[in-house]
């Protein structure tokens, strides 16, 4: 053995001395090497609990127990807690953002419940979602798609497929007549935007229909419904077609300005002490709603007055998109912290992300909060 080498015993002693010296410098002690292993309770960690179905008497019981388990189940339980806290905070302006075909997937009454029971103060949605919801509210029907149906044949018969559901082209034609009738009575001197058009559609449903529907509930509760990408929808196309008919009839066209939506939403957010967001999916509705915080900050920093620094104190997102795709639908709330959109947890922010199909997790979360509010 050369002089530069040492025995295993000497090597171990040297390694121990180096670690002890590092511990002294850093002020920490490696408890594992001293046999001082943590028991969880001493570090105030929260213990997990087995899901006991024998004690489940309601959806709320199930979701509460899921919150003490792991993986996706835990996030469902935590999401119910955050939504409850958001709804019970009287200072909070609550925003619901919607994307995906949730109304054709028959989640429309869940939206109605959230509106009717005060869980929502404003909605930001895709136009298609509200169009399909209007179809149902006006008394029309959607149908199931099954694997043995032929897509080419469906097209020829006027059935539009949305994954495992069918929207009838006839439904959309019938809705276009209704929209045309509503817009025909609109004041051409008033500049319209998406929330104003949705108010008109909601008023029609209130007067003409007996059932429930998202736009009907929104109108009854005075909840604005914004559609940032309004032209990317059947209703948007109906609006464009209506203006073409006006032009052919030598009538003045209806004016549309999407910035009226932005400014109306911004003022509502600015006037709130706190803001919270509950998101289904992601995309344009989520980003448009979240950038309201950024817009206020920019008004203040670049204009010098009229703005405010306001971030979402509460946030729940139900979306299966993973972070690594790089899209807005999957980006984390912690990433939103860097943009000044979300209050970090270190400052009291409460947020949770549920990576699941909204048609599974969303009803469970809302039903749980309904039960809790009922008990209160």
- The pLDDT tens digits for 226-268 are 999 999 999 999 999 999 999 999 999 999 999 999 999 999 9
CA distance 161 to 168: 9
- pLDDT score of 304: 85
- The pLDDT tens digits for 2-58 are 444 455 555 455 555 545 554 544 556 677 777 788 989 989 999 999 999 999 999
Q: How far is CA 344 from CA 279, 309, 339, 340, 341, in A?
A: 18, 14, 11, 9, 9
- The pLDDT tens digits for 106-136 are 999 999 999 999 999 999 999 999 999 999 9
CA distance 264 to 257: 12
CA distance 94 to 79: 15
CA distance 29 to 20: 8
- For strands 143-144 and 165-168, give the pairing: antiparallel
**Interacting residues of 333 by C-beta distance below 8 A, sequence separation 6+:** 315, 317, 342, 351, 353
- pLDDT score of 1: 45
- CA 287 from chain center: how many Å? 10
- Helical pair 194-208 and 259-270, crossing angle rounded to 10 deg: 90
CA distance 342 to 350: 9
CATH number of 53-375: 3.40.910.10
Backbone dihedral angles phi then psi of residue 218, each to the nearest 5 degrees? -60, -40
- pLDDT score of 31: 75
pTM metric for this prediction:
0.89
Where do the structural domains in the chain lie, given as residue ranges? Answer: 1-36, 53-375
Task: Provide the 10 A C-beta neighbour count for residue 153.
Answer: 9
Across-strand partners of 96? 123, 278
């Amino acid at each position: 053995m050369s002089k530069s080498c040492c025995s295993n015993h000497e090597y171990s002693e040297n390694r121990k001395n180096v670690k002890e010296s590092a511990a002294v410098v850093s002020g920490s002690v490696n408890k594992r090497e001293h046999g001082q292993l943590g028991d969880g309770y001493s570090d105030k960690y929260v213990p997990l609990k087995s899901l006991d179905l024998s004690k489940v008497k309601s959806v709320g019981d199930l979701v509460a127990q899921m919150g003490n388990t792991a993986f996706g189940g835990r996030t469902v339980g935590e999401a119910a807690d955050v939504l409850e806290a958001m709804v019970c905070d009287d200072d909070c302006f609550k925003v619901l953002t919607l994307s995906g075909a949730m109304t054709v997937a028959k989640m429309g009454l869940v939206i109605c419940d959230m509106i009717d029971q005060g869980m929502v103060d404003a909605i930001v949605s895709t136009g298609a979602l509200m169009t399909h919801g209007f179809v149902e509210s006006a008394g029309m029907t959607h149908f199931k798609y099954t694997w043995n149906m032929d897509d080419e044949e469906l097209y020829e018969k006027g059935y539009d497929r949305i994954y495992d559901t069918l929207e009838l082209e006839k439904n959309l034609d019938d809705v276009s007549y209704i929209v045309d009738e509503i817009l025909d009575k609109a004041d051409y001197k008033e500049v319209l935007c998406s929330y104003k058009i949705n108010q008109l559609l909601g008023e029609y449903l209130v007067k003409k229909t007996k059932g429930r529907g998202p736009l009907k509930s929104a109108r009854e509760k005075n909840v604005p419904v914004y559609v940032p990408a309004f032209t990317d929808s059947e209703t948007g196309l109906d609006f464009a077609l209506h203006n073409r008919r006006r032009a052919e009839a030598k009538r003045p066209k209806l004016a549309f300005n999407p910035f009226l939506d932005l400014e109306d939403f911004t003022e509502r957010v600015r006037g709130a002490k706190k803001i919270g967001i509950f998101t289904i999916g992601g995309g344009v509705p989520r980003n448009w709603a979240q950038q309201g915080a950024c817009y206020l900050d920019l008004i203040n920093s670049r204009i010098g007055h009229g703005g405010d620094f306001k971030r979402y104190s509460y946030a729940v997102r139900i979306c299966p998109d993973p972070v690594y795709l790089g899209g807005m639908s999957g980006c984390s709330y912690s990433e939103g912290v860097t943009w000044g959109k979300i209050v970090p947890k270190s400052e009291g922010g409460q947020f949770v992300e549920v990576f699941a199909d909204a048609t599974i997790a969303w009803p469970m979360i809302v039903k749980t909060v309904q039960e809790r509010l009922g008990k209160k």
